[in-house]
Amino acid sequence: MSTKKRFLIFLLLMMLAVAIGYYFYNKGPVNLKNSGALNITAVELYNIYEDTLTPQKKITGKVLKVAGVISKIEMNQQNETILFLKTNTAGAFINCSMQQTNITLKVNDSTHIKGLCSGIGQGDTDLGIKADVYLTSCWITE
């Protein structure tokens, strides 16, 4: 193969790599409201993170549709509504940061929430504070 052909092949591969990189750079964020999701209950989700033998990488970073019962409702510093779903562990919750603003749910209502799972928080065993599992960019679904 001549040097000229090698150079052209190399140049085409570089142009392809740049085009693919440009596509992924400009792709934009995932629309969680309309995307597919893995169905799971709040209790099952917390148990996955509580069990150290289960590979948590299968869930972290994925879009989940979590079924559960609302334990409490609060507002964070960014003025977003946070819904806390009950788990079987006392003092531990599924912490859902809502993107939706018109929320009419109340404590003890059953719901389905779709959001991006960002993992489990730290907690503090010395103070008896359990770690929560966090979902971000959440929407109420049915």
107 or 102, which is more confident: 107
Give the chain's domain count: 2
Q: Using 50, 70 and 90 to split pLDDT, how confident is the model at 25?
A: confident
* Tokens describing residue 107: 């404590």
Q: What is the percentage of the chain residues whose pLDDT exceeds 90?
A: 35
Give, as one character, the DSSP assignment of residue 71: E
6-10, 28-32, 46-50, 119-123 — which one is most confidently predicted on average? 6-10
Query: How high is the mean pLDDT of the chain?
Result: 86
pLDDT of 53 reads 66
Are 87 and 126 found together in one domain?
yes
**pLDDT confidence of residue 30:** 66
Calculate mean pLDDT across residues 75-104: 88
Overall average pLDDT of the 87-98 stretch: 89
Residues 122 and 55 occupy one common structural domain: yes
Q: Is residue 47 predicted with pLDDT exceeding 90?
A: no
> Token pair for residue 104?
């009419």
Q: Region 109-113: what's the mean pLDDT?
A: 93
Query: Does residue 64 share a domain with residue 101?
Result: yes
Confidence at 54, pLDDT banded by 50, 70, 90: low
State residue 90's pLDDT score. 85
Is 69 a residue whose pLDDT tops 90?
A: yes
Encoded tokens for 87: 């788990």
> Do 98 and 80 contact (CB within 8 A), yes or no?
yes
Strand partners, 69: 110
Q: Which residues form the domain of 4?
A: 1-29
Query: Do residue 58 and residue 5 come from a single domain?
Result: no
Q: Are residues 75 and 24 in the same domain?
A: no
Same structural domain, 46 and 84: yes
Mean pLDDT to the nearest integer, 129-133: 82
* Angle, CA 115 vertex, CA 113 and CA 119 arms, to 5°: 115
53 and 13 within one domain: no
Which CATH number goes with the domain that contains 96?
Answer: 2.40.50.140
Q: Please tell me whether residues 23 and 52 are part of one structural domain.
A: no
Task: Write down the pTM of the prediction.
Answer: 0.74
